[in-house]
Structure 1
Amino acid sequence: MRTFDVAERRARLARRHRLAPGERAPDVVSAADSVVCLHATDPATVYLSAWARVDGLVTAEVDKALYTDRSLVKHLCMRRTLFVLNTDLLGVVQAAAGERVAGQQRRRLIKEVEAAGLYADGAAWLAEASAATLDALDALGEASSTELRAAVPLLAGSTSYAPDKPYGGENPIGPRVLTTLSAAGKVLRGTNQGSWNVSRPRWVTTRRWLGHEPRLPTEAQARAELVRRWLYAFGPATVTDITWWLGSTLGATRAALADIGAVEVDLHGAPGVALADDLDAVAPVEPWAALLPGLDPTTMGWSERAWYLGPHRSRLFDRNGNGGATAWWDGRIVGGWNQTPTGEIYLQLLEDVGSEGLAALEAEAARLTEWLGGLRVAARFPSPLWTSSRARRTARPG
């Protein structure tokens, strides 16, 4: 049985995730492909993740891929998470994960509008509201959620959540219809009305945005293809890692692994899997530094993270499992980074990385400071380290 130690897994990460010098992607589409897709729940993540993987990137290149060439597309899919992915992969992701998420969202929304007394037959209401929304988008071309609520009366109304809790409130149903249609692949987030680090999407039908609706393979075919891509980018890995990332069931994961002929491997004492034609040794890489944004696909890529996260989970992940801004040295997370009120990037190291590591990370901080040009990036899901150390400027552990 092939054995992979931690050093080799980290070398694969450096090369295949385009993070080590000399391994960078030529463009943002290639960068997204290298990690299957980029996290997009926080709009800034897409641009900062691309910056870390494409030398000389400017934000206009990402905008062009998203809104002009449309070679990248935003889609709600695995784990009910918004991703940016290669448009050519949309049909695969829709069949493998989007349909499952859409079904979950439909059932939940129907149940809640009925419980709130808004509609006695939630399924009939949702079908009618969805059809009316698609008709409105056909007429309008693109529209904000506010414009759609004005055009489609069936989108009005709210349900309550956590009524007995201090954090409870009202949950408008209009955006949730759009969420369901998005997961179903019927609508997409089109042009953005805000700057690159703000999400103010205008909605559009998939057919209008792309000129066609993607062809959907069978669920089994799509799941196998998606797992194959993930395993090349993130493997070797555990079955738990794949199941978590896919947002599916253990049985579905095992079926996909069987379909692609994955083989069992030894992850230095733990069971894992890898592609049968991807067992050759990967050459070591020189020590490298990277500053990755919150929710970066490398930080979030695995469920079992000890081999690159070490003891820092409680400082760098919030209670819901969202990873914050991270500082990497030689294939592992060694702390985080933050910004001063004037936009300067500073390090928040949690361990001693030596003089070479500190110099490399400080160079990355200076590079990112220059790229941002004084723009401050708000953390949508700040880590405990980011929050507790917001005002502290230090490159020392602590």
Structure 2
Amino acid sequence: MGEARRYVGAAERRTRLGAGQRLSGSARAAGPEEVADSLVALHGSDPATVYLAVGARLAEPGRTVAETERALYTDRTLVRMHGMRHTVFVFPAGLTAVVHGSTGITVAARERASLLKDMAVAGAPDAAWLKEVEESALTALARRGQATAAELAEDEPRLRERFAYAAGKPYEGVHTVSTRLLRVLGVEGRVVRGRPLGSWTSSQFRWAVAPAHPELDVAEAQASLLGRWLAACGPATEADLKWWTGWRVTEVRRALTAIGARAVTLDEGTGYVVAGHEDPVAAPAEPWAALLPALDPTAMGWRERDWYLAPELLPALFDRSGNVGPTVWWNGRVVGGWAQRPDGEIVWRLLTTDGIGTEAHQAIAEEAERLRAWVGETRVTPRFRTPLEKELGGRGA
């Protein structure tokens, strides 16, 4: 008979979450590189999320903005690029080749084919013309160092060409060549997002030529990425892994075999951990609270979330597309949400009273004040608004 699988309950998973996600007091990090390395990827679709996610996990958050900007734009130890599920993330620079090899190559081929198809249907120029334009744009970008799409169009006017897509469909529209082409080049790993035009909350980015990286075998890269994430976020189910990576189930299973993942029993069924992570984890000496931003990588980290997020809380905390809003955490569970009002006040509301006492209220209030202090005069409105955030923030839809 085979060896019995160890059961890992929800309470232990929440303990692992607090330490592995740098949220419990003793696990907080010294800098943004430590945070990104521990979480593997920071959601970058909303620029403010990167900074708020880092600040929530730093022992001393006062220099969150300065240190994160240094890592992103001066030292380039963190890179903003397309990754899993065709989403923009911030990764440790050392992972760019792994992300590109594991995920980017397949998505890039699909995106380029889609662009060429849309252009052909619209009667736009052909692939040879597009190739000429992109090489010209990349040359201009290398010369400038960083540039917006509009600036690149000054050097290569053909980037301003417009074409219609999805004619006759509810989502029909018009794209410029620059909008679609720069997106394709980003997924292909040839360009990355650069410094924004405005503050750290700005969504208007410059572009930069991507740093060179080796081309990795797809299976090797997938094993490496899945191993890194499972070490940080395990245990996880096959459904969690398929959802987080965006891969086919056959690719997930191949990578699990390649890294020698160990099976454990979860309330959801079979889960997996990396070798050496099977042993029980001791609960932290002190409870912890956290205020995490919209699209935070912890709140969005798993497909099956009941062990840290009660289903009845979903309507208040998520939008219709499945994007999570700002969340309040207590000891590894989502217990409410928060928002910033126009005057800068951080307001929060509990959505459950289960296990919430005076100690929890005090700890959450301290986290709200901690957040308010380092955000300062900056006003943050999530890119994807959720029902509770709209209500608490008082800024309308």
Partner in structure 2 of residue 178 of structure 1: 182
Q: Cα offset for 1:170?
A: 2.5
**TM-score in terms of structure 1 length:** 0.92
Q: Which residues in structure 2 correspond to 1:382-397 (within 5 Å)?
A: 382-391=385-394
Match of 2:40 among 15, 36, 39: 36
- After TM superposition, list the pairs within 5 Å mapping 1:311-390 onto structure 2: 311=311, 312-352=313-353, 353-390=356-393
Where 1:338 maps in the other structure, the secondary structure is strand
CA contact (8 A) 1:43 1:197 kept: yes
Deviation, 1:177, is 0.6
Shift of 1:164: 5.5
Contact 2:342 2:393 in 1 (8 A): no
In 1, Cα distance between the equivalents of 2:130 and 2:230? Answer: 37
Match of 1:277 in 2: 276
CA contact (8 A) 1:77 1:101 kept: no
| Rounded Cα–Cα distance in structure 2 between residues aligned with 1:166 and 1:388 | 30
Letter of the structure 1 residue corresponding to residue 346 of structure 2: I
Deviations 1:76-132 (A, max 9, x none): 11111111111111111111111122112111111111112222x3x3333222212
Residue 217 of structure 1 deviates from its aligned partner by 1.8
Matching residue of 2:224: 225
Match of 2:143 in 1: 139
Letter in 1 for 2:323: N
* Aligned mate of 1:92, from 89, 98, 108: 98
- CA distance in 2: counterparts of 1:301 and 1:23, whole angstroms: 18
Further displaced range: 126-135 or 159-168 = 159-168
**CA distance in 1: counterparts of 2:210 and 2:393, whole angstroms:** 41
Name whichever of 379-388 and 215-224 sits farther off.
Answer: 379-388
Deviations 1:325-362 (A, max 9, x none): 11111101111101121011010221122222111111
User: Is 2:348–2:392's contact at 8 Å kept on the other side of the alignment?
Assistant: no
Q: 1:191 to 1:356 in 2, by over 3 A?
A: same
Deviates more, 1:155-164 or 1:102-111: 155-164
Q: CA shift at 1:154, angstroms? A: 2.8
For residues 342 and 167 of structure 1, do their structure 2 counterparts lie closer, same or farther at Cα, with a shift above 3 Å needed? Answer: farther
CA distance in 2 between counterparts of 1:168 and 1:55 reads 48
Query: Structure 1 342/135 Cα, relative in aligned 2: closer, same or farther at 3 Å?
Result: same
Q: What is the match of residue 244 of structure 2?
A: 245
Contact 1:78–1:101 (CA<8 Å) still a contact in 2? no
Unpaired runs of 5+ residues, structure 2, are none
Could you tell me how far apart the structure 2 residues matched to 1:162 and 1:347 are? 42
Choose the corresponding residue for 2:116, options 106, 110, 133. 110
Q: What amino acid does structure 1 have at the position aligned with 2:329?
A: W
TM-score (norm 2): 0.93
Q: Indicate yes or no: 2:294 matched with 1:294.
A: yes
Paired residue secondary structure (2:275): coil
Question: Does the CA contact (< 8 Å) of 1:35 and 1:230 recur in 2?
Answer: yes
User: C-alpha distance in 2, partners of 1:299/1:315?
Assistant: 14
In the alignment, the residues of structure 2 paired with residue 64 and residue 264 of structure 1 have an alpha-carbon distance, to the nearest angstrom, of 40
* 1:244 positional shift: 0.9
SS at 2:323's partner residue? Answer: coil
Give the conservation status (yes or no) of the 8 Å contact 1:344–1:374: no
After superposing on structure 2, the runs of 4+ consecutive aligned residues of structure 1 that deviate more than 6 Å are none
Following superposition, the deviation at residue 161 of structure 1 comes to 5.2
Aligned counterparts of 1:171 and 1:32: Cα–Cα separation in 2? 34
C-alpha displacement at 1:48, in angstroms?
0.5
Letter aligned with residue 342 of structure 1: D
Q: Does 2:85 match 1:79?
A: yes
Give, in angstroms, the shift of residue 162 of structure 1. 6.1
Number of aligned residue pairs? 385
Distance (whole Å) between structure 2 residues aligned to residue 74 and residue 269 of structure 1:
33
Contact residue 261 and residue 275 of structure 1 kept, 8 A: yes
Partner of 1:12: 16
Q: What is the one-letter code of the residue matched to 1:288?
A: W
- Which ranges in structure 1 are unaligned for 5 or more consecutive residues? 208-212, 393-398
- 1: CA distance between counterparts of 2:159 and 2:350? 47
Aligned residue for 1:106, secondary structure, equals: helix
Q: 1:313 to 1:163 in 2, by over 3 A?
A: farther
* Equivalent position of 1:396 in the other structure: none
Over the aligned positions, Cα root-mean-square deviation in angstroms equals 1.7
| Counterpart Cα distance in 2 of 1:343 and 1:111 | 47
- In structure 2, distance between residues paired with 1:372 and 1:297: 20
